[in-house]
Each structure stands twice: as structure tokens, then as C-alpha cells.
Amino acid sequence: MGEIADYFRRERYITRRFSLLILGGTAILVPLTLASGYRRIPAWALEWAFAAVAALVAVAVVFVIRGARARFPRTEAADDLVLDGTTRKMLRNRIRMLEWFVVFYAAILVYGLLQARKGAWPGLIAGAVVNLLMQAALIKAIRRLKAKLKQATGDAPAGSVRSSPGIE
């Protein structure tokens, strides 16, 4: 159960740091947006502020992920233990939540495409690509967690990492 417990610890570590990033970015951008709305700062300054915060968040994400990998290294040995009911429930809830996020992002993509039909194409394409990349990452995480759950509950051999036949 060590690998699954490490997964939840690593996820808690990353989630807390990402929450702080969101809070910090919001604390910076909301007052600047309001000031721009009241014409206290020029619009070009707001654009630069958004770009600067996005760049800082991107750099911080890299450091958070590196810190998580250093603090919680992946174990080489596979888990051969059967999971208890609470851990299985946590994994199932996590899988269900990730599946809802895939549905949510798909709905956002469709809505965004319908709303931006007559808008600027470069922004539309960039948004669609980011949305599809996020969906792909979520689907990959879902497949990995389903395979881990199947392996840990004893339904699959210990060396098996494929969630279903024929899919890599």
C-alpha cells in the first residue's frame, strides 16, 4: 500500500501549493483588474500584469512538481497488498471526480467553440489545445488510477499496468 499512500501524500502536497498559487495570483490580479476598470491604470499595464503572473505561476508549477518528486520519490517495487475498504473508496472517489472533470472540460470546450465562432481564431485555437491537453492528462490519470485499483484489489496480476486490453 506504500505506492498508493505516497500517491495521496504527493497529491496533498501539490494541491496545497497550487491552492496558494491561485490565492496569490488572485490577490494580485483582482485589485489590478478593478483599478483598470476604474481607469486608474492603463489597459496595457493590466495585460503585462496578467502575462507576468502567468509566467510566475508557470515557473512556480515547475518548482512545485520538482519538489514533489524530490520529497516523494516513486517506489520501484509494485504493491502486492490488497487495499482496505477506505483506500479503495478514496481511489474510486478520485476516479469519479476526474471523470466529472473530463465531462466538465468537454462541455466548456463545446460552449467555448460555440461562443467564439466569430472571434479571433488564434485565441480560440490556443484555448482548444489547452483544453484538449488537460483532458488528455485527466484521461491518462484516470486510466492509471483504474489500473492501480484493479491491481491492488487483486483483479489483475502484479506486473500488469494496462487498464484494458489493446490500449497502450
Q: pLDDT (tens digit, 9 = 90+) per residue, 44-98?
A: 888 888 889 889 989 999 999 999 889 988 766 555 556 777 888 888 999 999 9
Q: State yes or no: pLDDT of 25 exceeds 50.
A: yes
As given in the structure block, the three cell numbers for residue 53 are: 503572473
CA distance 123 to 121: 5
- Mean pLDDT of all residues belonging to the chain: 82
125 Cβ contact list (under 8 Å, min separation 6): none
164 pLDDT tier (thresholds 50, 70, 90): very low
Report the range out of 32-36, 39-43, 66-70, 99-103 with the highest average pLDDT: 99-103
* Residue 167 reports pLDDT greater than 60: no
Per the structure block, which three cell numbers stand in for 12?
A: 496533498
**Could you write out the DSSP letters of every residue in 141-158?**
HHHHHHHHHHHHTTSS-T
What is the rounded distance in angstroms from the CA atom of residue 89 to the CA atom of residue 93? 6
Structure confidence at residue 63 (pLDDT): 94
